[in-house]
Structure 1
Amino acid sequence: MKFIDFPSMNVKIEGMENISIPKMMKIRQIYDSFKIENLKEWIEREMENNLSHKENFKGKRICITVGSRGIPDLDIIVRTIVDKLKEWKAEPFIIPAMGSHAGGTAEGQKDFIAGYNITEKTMGVPILSSMEVVKIGQLPDETPVYCDKNAYESDGIVVLNKVKPHTDFRGKHESGMAKMMAIGLAKHKGASMFHMKGFSSFAERIPQVCDIFLKNAPVAFGVGIVQNAYDEISNLEVMEKAHILERDAALLKIAKEKIAKFKMPSIDVLIIDEIGKNISGNGFDPNIVGRSNSPGFDDVIDLKKLFIRGLTEETHHNGCGLSNADITTIKCVRDVDYESTWINVSTATMLNGGRIPMYANSDREALLIAIRTCTGIDFDKVKVVHIKNTSSMDIIEVSESYYDELKNRDDVEILSKPEDIKFDKDGFMI
């Protein structure tokens, strides 16, 4: 890992003495709350009902993909699939399938999924982590198509992934099972080759890769997962190989309807406590925040300044997404592993994702600067919103200036009176 010991800064900005931090109140944003209550039973039923020729799994080495995106109870999902395959007399194993994430190394990717409680001990099967790939075809533009060697040499691949709107492009297939075949299973080498044409080509080229992958790789079946706005699993489907692309597209439509959105159309300053690859490729979801390394998200919300406070533990110091902040803190920029982050952004050809924003010596200082540099606002009625991360959008904090706007809405509940933000002696939020 490579960290940088950034120096403290003394940035003097005229007019700061007239800026104050508003009182904040807790609110609950209300969304569709349906979730699958018993995942184990649900998955077992899906596998029993939707997969034919179960006798064909007997004695077969079946590979299960585990990606880098955070999925609630992922260990339960994977272990249930493992146990059901064992019941059918198969010999399952697991591979990390996450392109270039976790530093683009076999050990890094194995450690990454261990953070999700996916280990050989907890799963009861081998985890074969390797960056070695096999070329299985090429696109009309001569881009090679690759597959993880262990997966390719198996008797069947279970293509498992979360299905959600992508953070950098729009298309029939975005993040999901299709992208797992195109990029996740292609490991660092294949992900790098695929990204060379840029995100603007993804919508067209992902289905092309999948056609080749489904013809030339031993895909067994797919598992598509959708989460609701509360970061809980609302949809989980198991489908035969022939239906993977059809269901991937259908689940994406459902996911776009489920995604959390802010109940207010404009924000002066948004504070995000943590970003990370376990939450989104951009560290946070641009479909919520409206910031991305790619164009096309400007109409999501009217946001003037973004203050990112830190990184999730699960992201292993990957700072992807920090470049979208207007300001952060010295503590945050010192916590970034720039080597791992730059490997990731260069693989995606988005070098702008490796930039660092302006940083302040404390949260208090960063927030005051963010407010001061908003233009065309009433500083006495500044609109500030504070969230933990974009996977936690139900209970959030908003400044008291939102009270009249939200008090009569039936999809918002005001939970507390306005209170001052609490800071420790060093100026960091408690």
Structure 2
Amino acid sequence: MLPKILLIRQNIATTPALTNPYAEAFNAMNSLKIDSDKIKDKTIGIAVGSRGLDQLPQLVKSIVDFVKANGGKPFIFAAIGTQGGGTSEGQAAMLASLGITEDTMEVPIRCCGESKYMGKTPSHGYDVYCNSIVDELEGLIVINRVKPHTDFTDITESGLLKIFAIGIGNPQGAQAIHTKALTEGHGKVIREIAAYMMAHLPVLFGVMTTENWKSQLDYVQAVLPENILETEKAALARVKENTIKLPVKALDALIVAEMGKNVSGTGMDTKTIGRIMILGQKEPDYPKIGRISVLGLTEATHGNYMGMGLADYTTMPVFRAMDIVDTSFNCVMASAPEQGRIPVIVENDRAAIAAAVETVGLDDPSRATLIYIRNTNCLEEMVVSEALYEQLKDNKNIEVLSELQEFEFDQDGRLLSFHKAFGL
């Protein structure tokens, strides 16, 4: 028997979202007072990654227009490491899914899966690779969001430094970094390789963003290359202070409605689910989750199910949507085969939820502590089981949004409960 459930909201303060991302970015770039001679009549490449940044089209369009306003000749190129199967066609599809197309941006978009060898870093002799497109550039601008990384913890994690080292590094660069990182640490390797690239490429500046825990853009700053490291460190510290987590440190079952590369590099945020499974990396202390079932892949992930190996169960519809070739390539390049494993496949949502609560050693599965979320970026509203709510009912940050009810499924076993609330 499945637990009874209800919808709750976590009422936790957060930083306000920016109301005019285009203007914020344009003003931030203007504030740098870049010498116009560095842009006028020059070919300027704008490196755009694969992460689903909030307001990404507006931000990129602002950079494009800034370059045009200063007399430059901008184009966008994909800086997405191993995403898109490492092909130019896959890279273009990934950018298009994020709203970055030649029609929307009004500039050419270039994609290239090839890497060129740049040299070795002076300190530790790390091999450095970059997208072959950089040979065409007279100026380079990068954009990325600063956030905690899913695979490691350090003073810098995911941000502008990563878009250099792994994004612009293309598949060969990404693989080289992940291989070294297994023994020497991701942060150290990324910082050293990014520094080498910034010293050898015509970098004008970076556009750095952060988001609040509602995944809303709350900060934009343009940063000169010599200031990127310290600025990124400070931005990451701020982000870590403004987080939302699951409301408990342990539960029997987590049900995830959707996962994908636009949600997290590993499909699900590893620190939210308490599982990383990267060779040499310490597993999080919390949360402790008995079973995880995944019920869907996002459209924007294009079948890439990297991170599914962190789950225990998924469904036949999810299995049919998996792109095994692209995901395998991604996992090999990232030195993360564990994250590309396929969990136990059951028929439908009903079976995936039942399996999760029936295989954690409970005499009465209806008393399982369970949470059902849309994805690991959406932790404000969630469904909890009756037994879990008993632990939360005195929490002043928890607001009840529904009556207690049963899980509901259609004739094919697809979950209907709270379908409308989650907009799925």
Normalized against structure 1, the TM-score is what?
0.92
- 1:265 Cα deviation after fit: 2.1
Matched, 1:29 2:10: yes
Aligned to 1:174: 157
2:285 is matched with which residue: 291, 299, 304? 299
Aligned to 2:27: 45
Distance in 2 between residues matched to 1:74 and 1:350, nearest whole Å: 28
Matched, 1:400 2:386: yes
| Cα offsets for 1:217-248 (capped at 9, x unmatched) | 11110111111111101121111121111111
- 1:142 Cα deviation after fit: 3.8
Distance in 1 between residues matched to 2:169 and 2:340, nearest whole Å: 23
Distance in 2 between residues matched to 1:265 and 1:399, nearest whole Å: 15
Aligned to 1:273: 257
Matched, 1:146 2:129: yes
User: Aligned with 1:234: secondary structure?
Assistant: strand
For structure 2, the residue ranges without an aligned partner over 5 or more in a row are: 417-424
Asked whether the equivalents of residues 58 and 90 of structure 1 are also in contact (C-alpha less than 8 Å), the reply is yes
- 1:335 Cα deviation after fit: 1.4
Aligned to 2:118: 136
Asked whether the equivalents of residues 168 and 199 of structure 1 are also in contact (C-alpha less than 8 Å), the reply is no
Distance in 1 between residues matched to 2:363 and 2:32, nearest whole Å: 56
| Cα offsets for 1:6-30 (capped at 9, x unmatched) | xxxxxxxxxxxxxx11121111112
- 1:57 Cα deviation after fit: 1.5
Distance in 2 between residues matched to 1:425 and 1:311, nearest whole Å: 21
Aligned to 1:229: 213
Distance in 2 between residues matched to 1:165 and 1:149, nearest whole Å: 29
Distance in 2 between residues matched to 1:341 and 1:117, nearest whole Å: 22
Asked whether the equivalents of residues 131 and 169 of structure 2 are also in contact (C-alpha less than 8 Å), the reply is yes
Distance in 2 between residues matched to 1:306 and 1:346, nearest whole Å: 24
Distance in 1 between residues matched to 2:27 and 2:297, nearest whole Å: 37
Aligned to 2:266: 282
Asked whether the equivalents of residues 51 and 239 of structure 1 are also in contact (C-alpha less than 8 Å), the reply is no
The residue type paired with residue 324 of structure 1 is L
Q: Which moved more, 1:322-331 or 1:288-297?
A: 288-297
- 1:380 Cα deviation after fit: 4.1
1:86 is matched with which residue: 36, 53, 68? 68
Distance in 1 between residues matched to 2:23 and 2:263, nearest whole Å: 26
Aligned to 1:202: 186
Distance in 2 between residues matched to 1:85 and 1:411, nearest whole Å: 45
Asked whether the equivalents of residues 212 and 242 of structure 2 are also in contact (C-alpha less than 8 Å), the reply is yes
Matched, 1:375 2:356: no
Distance in 1 between residues matched to 2:115 and 2:202, nearest whole Å: 14
User: Aligned with 2:353: secondary structure?
Assistant: helix
User: Aligned with 1:50: secondary structure?
Assistant: coil
User: Aligned with 1:229: secondary structure?
Assistant: coil
User: Aligned with 1:340: secondary structure?
Assistant: helix
Question: Identity over aligned residues, as a percent?
Answer: 34
User: Aligned with 2:31: secondary structure?
Assistant: helix
| Cα offsets for 1:104-141 (capped at 9, x unmatched) | 10111011110111011110111011123332221355
Aligned to 1:250: 234
Distance in 1 between residues matched to 2:72 and 2:336, nearest whole Å: 41
The residue type paired with residue 28 of structure 1 is R
- 1:152 Cα deviation after fit: 4.1
The residue type paired with residue 223 of structure 1 is V
The residue type paired with residue 290 of structure 2 is K
Alignment length (residue pairs): 411
Aligned to 2:78: 96
User: Aligned with 2:154: secondary structure?
Assistant: coil
User: Aligned with 1:63: secondary structure?
Assistant: strand
Distance in 1 between residues matched to 2:266 and 2:87, nearest whole Å: 20
Distance in 1 between residues matched to 2:11 and 2:220, nearest whole Å: 22
Distance in 1 between residues matched to 2:44 and 2:206, nearest whole Å: 12
Asked whether the equivalents of residues 173 and 249 of structure 1 are also in contact (C-alpha less than 8 Å), the reply is yes
The residue type paired with residue 43 of structure 2 is R
Structure 2 CA distance for partners of 1:383 and 1:377, relative to 1, 3 Å: farther
Matches within 5 A, 1:205-220: 205-220=189-204
| Cα offsets for 1:53-97 (capped at 9, x unmatched) | 245311121111111111111111100111111111111110110
Aligned to 1:389: 375
Structure 2 CA distance for partners of 1:36 and 1:22, relative to 1, 3 Å: same
The residue type paired with residue 415 of structure 1 is L
User: Aligned with 2:234: secondary structure?
Assistant: helix
The residue type paired with residue 311 of structure 1 is L
User: Where has structure 1 moved over 6 Å in runs of 4 or more?
Assistant: none
| Cα offsets for 1:145-183 (capped at 9, x unmatched) | 122222343111112111111111122221111111111
User: Aligned with 2:204: secondary structure?
Assistant: strand
Distance in 2 between residues matched to 1:162 and 1:152, nearest whole Å: 25
Distance in 1 between residues matched to 2:350 and 2:5, nearest whole Å: 14
Distance in 2 between residues matched to 1:293 and 1:281, nearest whole Å: 14
Distance in 1 between residues matched to 2:148 and 2:127, nearest whole Å: 25
Aligned to 1:322: 308
Distance in 1 between residues matched to 2:247 and 2:350, nearest whole Å: 26
- 1:378 Cα deviation after fit: 5.5
Aligned to 1:364: 350
- 1:353 Cα deviation after fit: 2.1
Distance in 2 between residues matched to 1:33 and 1:411, nearest whole Å: 17
User: Aligned with 1:298: secondary structure?
Assistant: coil
Matched, 1:162 2:148: no
2:101 is matched with which residue: 91, 94, 119? 119
Distance in 2 between residues matched to 1:133 and 1:404, nearest whole Å: 55
User: Aligned with 2:80: secondary structure?
Assistant: coil
Matched, 1:354 2:340: yes
Distance in 2 between residues matched to 1:328 and 1:352, nearest whole Å: 16
Matches within 5 A, 1:64-75: 64-75=46-57
Structure 2 CA distance for partners of 1:158 and 1:118, relative to 1, 3 Å: same
For the aligned residues, what is the CA RMSD? 1.6
The residue type paired with residue 163 of structure 1 is V
Distance in 2 between residues matched to 1:207 and 1:380, nearest whole Å: 49
Matched, 1:183 2:166: yes
The residue type paired with residue 75 of structure 2 is F
The residue type paired with residue 9 of structure 2 is R
